Amino acid sequence: MPHATDTPVTSPKILPFYKAIPRLAKDPVTELARMGVEARGQIVRLDLGPFRPYLISHPDHVEQVLKTDWTNFVRAGMFWRPLHRVTGQSILAEGEAWASARKILQPLFTPKYINSLAEDMADVVAGCMPELDEHARTGRLIDGGGHQMTAIVNEAVMKLLFGGRIPRETVDLLQPEIATCATSIHFRLLFPFTPYSIKVPGDRAFLRAVKKIDEIIYSLIEENSRAEASPAAEPRKEIISALLTARKAQDGTVDVRQVRDDLVSMYGASSETTAMSLAWLWSVLHDHPDVDAKLRDEIDRVVGGGPVRPHHVAQMPYLRMVLQELIRVYPSAWIIPRQTVADTEIGGVRIKAGSQVLVSPYTTHRLPQFWERPLEFDPERWAGEKHQLRHRYSFIPFGTGPHVCLGQHLFYIEASLVIANVMSRYRQVLTNPQKLTPVPGASVRPRESLWLRLEPRDRDARA
């Protein structure tokens, strides 16, 4: 279904191979966004040799691909083909497998349901603070972009998926394997059409990590099934319980492969995206001391010196504005790839069946016709009602349409709990400020490590 845009065009701007490759080789995320911005959001065709995807960034086109015409743009080819090797047939797939998973999982992600789990999540996040206290006490630096933030987010995600039934050691075993999957998949993400019969860099590490993930997840499923089957079992809220109940056949047997796919997909969708969004925060706060001060004031006023509880989150509108601006400037889902099923037309451009289109939130969020001073980090643009006047599909960090992210509400709660806990306890000092380079991957992350020193807040005479 074609849509009107401000400048109708009939052929895409084509970026030839000799221009596209050198630009993308240097800093692919920034350059891809520049290409879309230079074309004023019109469709750009990238000539990458055998791979010639269309870059989609205009909000009208985003709406068409992800929402109005979504059945013609499926999760196949680039990104998805290698990803499905680990996530299997589940919520991150298409068709019947996706629809049945979405039906089971959607009721678990309503704000009401997530709020009912938020107290537990607040305990988990607070429970991670003693480890940071230790760093603050000894002066040992933390990696603000990597390990520590990921570890806190993972603990909270694990609680949501498995409740209290998963020991800390298991979380610690799972985390590096998932990280290995996310990084060793790189080559396959970039060259999606290389046959699996040809071994490429990262394959061996990837397959070894998938095997370990399977061992851990299958044993958790078995343990949980046993606990659920016990006559003394209480009804439980975590996702694994809902899956075990929903995936039970009439004869009482459970399709464990399906539950495994569901759990791995949920873990993948929730932990990296959230942790990598937080990874940018400390550098942004360093560069914007005014934002840091205003945020800290709000956290102090609402939380005081006590523990951070879920009811505090709703009382911190500035924190919400900072998070919105963070995922505008650094949307961790930087591209949302699709493959066309039938010949189609977007913004007057004819696109053949089987083509790859890359919806790019990172680009859409930088289009000057929809965002004033798009490269500036300015939480104030989210103040009051005025941001509601912008184009509805100009802000798409969570996608849109039937595949829209299930975890939006969870993200705002979880990220707020982490930030409020850290900032109410410590003053974070970035010891190696520098310009960050976004690195492409399943989630966009800074290439550089961010070393933070945490200074306990009692030092700044918080009277």
Q: How far is the CB of 126 from ligand HEM (least distance, A)?
A: 19
Closest contact distance (angstroms) between CB of 305 and ligand HEM is: 29
Q: Which stretch binds ligand HEM (CB under 6 A): 57-65, 165-173, 188-196, 393-401?
A: 393-401
Kindly state whether residue 397 participates in binding ligand HEM, applying the rule CB under 6 A.
yes
CB 336 within 8 A of CB 309: no
273: contact with ligand HEM by CB under 6 A = yes
Residues 393-425 as b/e (b if ≥16 CB within 10 A, e otherwise) read: bbbbbbbbbebebbbbbbbbbbbbbbbbbbbbb
Compute the C-alpha angle 173/177/183, nearest 5°.
Answer: 150
In 10 A of CB 213, how many CB atoms? 22
Backbone angles phi, psi at 459, to 5 degrees: -65, -30
Tell me which residue has tokens 């005014």: 290
Residues facing residue 143 across a β-bridge: 451
Q: How many CB atoms lie within 10 A of CB 320?
A: 16
Q: Least Å distance between CB 256 and ligand HEM? A: 20
Is 128 flagged in the annotation as binding?
no
270 contributes a contact to ligand HEM by CB under 6 A: yes
Q: Which of 78, 189, 266, 442 binds ligand HEM (CB under 6 A)?
A: 266
Half-sphere exposure of 411 (CA within 13 A, CB side): 23
- What is the C-alpha to C-alpha distance for residues 153 and 443, in angstroms, rounded to an integer? 15
- What is the x/- site pattern for ligand HEM, positions 71-90, by CB under 6 A? ----x---------------
In the chain, the amino acid numbered 165 is R
| 337 touches 440 (CB < 8 A) | no
Among candidates 267, 262, 227, which has minimal Cα distance to 88?
262
Stretch that binds ligand HEM, among 32-40, 166-174, 197-205, 407-415 (CB under 6 A): 407-415
Count, residues near ligand HEM per rule CB under 6 A: 26
**Residue 103: count of CB within 10 angstroms of its CB:** 10
Q: Between 20 and 261, whose beta carbon lies closer to ligand HEM? A: 261
Please, what is the minimum distance in Å from the beta carbon of residue 203 to ligand HEM? 24
Instruction: Give the nearest residue (CB) to ligand HEM.
Output: 407
Checking phi first, is residue 240 left (phi over 0); if not, alpha (psi -120 to 50) or beta?
Answer: alpha
Distance from C-alpha of 101 to C-alpha of 416, rounded to nearest angstrom: 28
If one asks whether residue 102 binds ligand HEM (CB under 6 A), the answer comes out as yes
When asked if residue 403 is in the footprint of ligand HEM (CB under 6 A), the reply is: yes
Q: How far is the CB of 157 from ligand HEM (least distance, A)?
A: 7
Establish if 399 lies at the interface with ligand HEM (CB under 6 A): yes
Provide the mask over 294-333, with x wherever binding to ligand HEM is found by CB under 6 A and - wherever it is not.
---------------------------------x---xxx
- Cβ at position 170, least distance to ligand HEM in Å: 18
Among 379, 411, 416, 445, binds ligand HEM (CB under 6 A): 411
- In whole angstroms, what is the distance from residue 397 CA to residue 443 CA? 11
Q: Can you tell me whether residue 14 is helix, strand or coil?
A: strand
62, 243, 269, 367: residue in contact with ligand HEM (rule CB under 6 A): 269
Please state the residue numbers annotated as binding site.
405
Which residue positions form the known binding site for heme? Answer: 405
The site for ligand HEM (CB under 6 A) is made up of 66, 75, 91-92, 98, 102, 266, 269-270, 273-274, 277, 327, 331-333, 336, 397-399, 403, 405-407, 410-411
